Structure 1
Amino acid sequence: MNLEWSIISIAAALIAWLYLDQIQRKKRYQFKLQRVKEIHQNALDAERKRHELLLDGLSDALFLVDDHGRICYANITAKRMFAERTLVGQSPQAVFPDARFITAMQECERMNKSVVTRLILPQQLSPLGSQENRGVNAWLLDVAPLPPEAYPQAKLRILLRDLTAEYQSEQVRKDFVANASHELRTPLAIIQGYLENLLEAGALKDQQMSAKFLSIMSKHTDRVSRIVEDMLMISRLESGEAAALSIEPFEFYSCVQDVLERLDHLIVSKSAKIKIDAVERGLIISGDRFYWTQVLFNLIENALKQNLQPGLTVEVTAHTTTDGVEIAVTDDGIGIPTNHLPFVFKRFYRVDQSHTNTSIKGTGLGLSIVKRAIEAHGGTIHVTSTPGKETKFSISLPNNKIQIEDHFSAAS
């Protein structure tokens, strides 16, 4: 009997041990399985984070669209582009205001291949969430299908690239070429016409007529030369050559005097008065003297040519402030109509002075050169005007561009 109980006890203990061992094995297996799952999940999370870091590093906006037609991912560029609006969970129709976005996605799904298109949108249809007024907006839209094995939760990839700056530069170049061609065509046509007249039989024998024709041709040749020179100058300023300006200190007062010497004939012919008493003596500007000469020359010449009536007064002032230096060129002439003020620095823009019965000729580039040259020196310029009273061009330069030399004041 005792033997039987002993056998039963041993058997029970063995069964219990086997049961407990099985439980322990199962727990260890579950623990290992859980660890494997955690390691796998951590690896997936790390891989996803790496992918997101790469996608967030893109300068283009990137969206992923799932099987339900909802945006399931948007990179940082997309969020910034849409002013931090909620994008994930939205339908593309709710995010993109133009029907061509949706058409591109539908074509991509139907043909199962990438669809790339360039969109020019008016400001009110810009996908940007900001209120910045940039006129039209240009975008490159690239929609492509995604392989299920690579992205099981997404079926489409949308790439949106802002081409507005490139589009505007392209338009500027086109406008520049068109305007330059127009500006050159007129004087060249006049020169050609007078040449044809001179080449006619007997025309050169008339010395008085020949001299008149040659004088007119010379005048228009000078105009062509001035247009070409201005075009080259503004092209250099806008192409990045401004970064290689010949920067060195120079006295501003002497620069003004040099300009007045160049304009002396025009000043005398206009019976104009140029006041430079308010130019601070000993004011030293660090910059490219050549371009500053052009700035002053264009501003003063512009005032003289815009006002055909004699007796004009032009005042040049320059003085230091706590922030830098303030320079101004003011005339007491016919002024500029208020509606023209925002455009006076545009290339080839001319103010319509028909109300003054004047015929003002110029290249239309002078004030554009002024603005670009000042900006290349780190400064700003703006214009104010009261029609029939005065026009004032005000220039501001930062402190690091100026200094005062006492010995100039002593010498004067």
Structure 2
Amino acid sequence: MGMGQNFPVAGILLAGMAVVAMILLGVDAVIALAVLLVWFGSLLVAAGRPPEPPKAVVRQKLDLDSIRDLIENFSTPVLITERNTIALANRAARTMLGLHMIGQDARVALRQPEAISLLNDSRSGEAIVRGLVRRQDIWQISRRAIDDRLAMLELTNQTAEADISRAHTDFVANASHELRTPLAAILGYVETLREDDGRVDTPTAQKFLGIIEREAQRLHALVSDLMSLSRVEAEKHELPTERIELASLVERAARDAAGSARMDRLDLELAAQPCVLGDLHQLEQVVRNLVDNALKYGAHDQAVTVTLDLAPGDQARITVSDEGEGVSPEQIPHLTRRFYRTDPGRSRASGGTGLGLAIVKHIVERHRGRLDITSERGKGTRVVVRIPLAGQQNEVEGASEDGLSEDAIGAETQELS
């Protein structure tokens, strides 16, 4: 407001009356005039000051400033709304939703029906919103009232939790299916043998018993692999500490996988004798699984080559190559998924459980290593495992908790000869 609006007319009249009274009471005129001037000057100074803002406005500014400093560095997106208009947004929220949302109605900025219903309700509450940023995202929006004017919206990304829950559900469903198949075969043939009450001829009975034995072995292998996978996942954050000579381990595990029946197809090339810090049984399982896969799915008249050498970056490198049919490029990123099979019928017929490469991936991850798979149709498949040499593991960053990235799998581009 200007001075004209605040001019103290009443105060000046009161000052004039006081001076007249002083003169009538015999006060010296000079003193009375001085009092009048001082009084009049103080009134003019007071009239020139801007009016004090209402206390509510001062409190609002102080509240928003203090809240801004408090929430700015939160890792989760946080919005402060004033009667559903976005007044503040911390750095995470600005990065996620953009600067343009400040000053907008929160119902317009968030758009989703669940969020709008939450904001229309003046009480505190929560809502699950899908597709807030990307189509598959899942966010929980929590609204907490600060006072009758301000409220805080906290956005929590629940996409990872939902993915984990879905993966667990899929795993249980797949495991149940894989277990049920051999059990059904075993129960069916046992029931047939019992119902015939010994009337089944010997060759047929032997055939049935052979199928029962094969399915029981498959069931045993599946349960063993499930237990192995469970143990590996439980220990994947514990860095192994045992010092291991890889050359003897690779040779022993490869020969165990081949057995006497397939030894003639095994070609070992141990060009180095590196030492690593690892888990003896788990590293043996890596070699056995890779060699077993190569022997099963490689060409039966071609050798499987297992090499051990040193790779750049102070790493031991184990390579298992076959000259089989190979797999198509689009299948490579999925090979380490649980129960994934490029040819389900052939895999089951050969006794595969669909868990071998998933176990390999988690063991390599625990050893802070790297798994690369390359393949070419008609030429075969090459699997490379790199593990830091002893003394290097502590300097290597661990792989992600969800397993090796798809960028790592199949990253190697050498063509198979």
Please tell me the TM-score bracket, short chain as reference: 0.7 to 0.9
Match runs of 1:381-400 below 5 Å: 381-398=371-388
Match runs of 1:209-220 below 5 Å: 209-220=204-215
Pair 1:70-2:85 in alignment = yes
How many residue pairs match? The answer is 368
Amino acid at match of 1:140: Q
Instruction: Give 1:62 shift.
Output: 2.2
Match runs of 1:283-294 below 5 Å: 283-294=274-285
Pair 1:12-2:23 in alignment = no
Q: In the alignment, which residue of structure 1 is the partner of 2:330?
A: 339
Instruction: Give 1:180 shift.
Output: 0.2
Instruction: Give 1:118 shift.
Output: 2.1
Pair 1:295-2:286 in alignment = yes
**CA, structure 1 residues 209+358, in 2 after alignment: closer, same or farther (shift >3 Å)?**
closer
Q: Is the 8 A contact 1:270 1:311 kept in 2?
A: no
Q: Structure 2 CA distance, aligned partners of 1:371 and 1:117?
A: 37
Q: Which runs of 5+ in 1 are unaligned?
A: 129-134, 404-412
Amino acid at match of 1:141: I
Q: Structure 1 CA distance, aligned partners of 2:225 and 2:329?
A: 26
Normalising by structure 2, we get a TM-score of 0.75
Pair 1:276-2:291 in alignment = no
Q: In the alignment, which residue of structure 1 is the partner of 2:249?
A: 255
Amino acid at match of 2:80: L
Pair 1:178-2:173 in alignment = yes
Instruction: Give 1:143 shift.
Output: 4.1
Normalising by structure 1, we get a TM-score of 0.76
Instruction: Give 1:233 shift.
Output: 2.2
Q: Is the 8 A contact 1:327 1:395 kept in 2?
A: yes
How big is each residue's C-alpha offset from its partner over 1:50-88, in whole Å with a ceiling of 9 and x where there is no partner? 433443465542223334x53211123312433x54431
Q: Structure 2 CA distance, aligned partners of 1:166 and 1:357?
A: 32
Instruction: Give 1:329 shift.
Output: 1.8
Amino acid at match of 2:369: G
Q: Structure 1 CA distance, aligned partners of 2:143 and 2:172?
A: 35
Q: Structure 2 CA distance, aligned partners of 1:346 and 1:382?
A: 14
Amino acid at match of 1:79: R
| 82, 94, 110: which one aligns with 1:79 | 94
**CA, structure 1 residues 245+207, in 2 after alignment: closer, same or farther (shift >3 Å)?**
farther
Instruction: Give 1:268 shift.
Output: 2.9
Pair 1:199-2:194 in alignment = yes
Bigger mean CA deviation after superposition, 373-382 or 345-354: 345-354
Q: Which runs of 5+ in 2 are unaligned?
A: 1-22, 394-417
Instruction: Give 1:398 shift.
Output: 3.8
Amino acid at match of 2:361: K
**CA, structure 1 residues 48+63, in 2 after alignment: closer, same or farther (shift >3 Å)?**
closer
Bigger mean CA deviation after superposition, 58-67 or 340-349: 58-67
Pair member with larger Rg: 2
Q: Structure 1 CA distance, aligned partners of 2:224 and 2:36?
A: 100
Instruction: Give 1:182 shift.
Output: 0.7
Q: Is the 8 A contact 2:71 2:90 kept in 1?
A: yes
Bigger mean CA deviation after superposition, 213-222 or 283-292: 213-222
Q: Structure 1 CA distance, aligned partners of 2:112 and 2:61?
A: 35
What SS does the corresponding residue of 1:319 show, helix, strand or coil?
strand
Bigger mean CA deviation after superposition, 333-342 or 205-214: 205-214
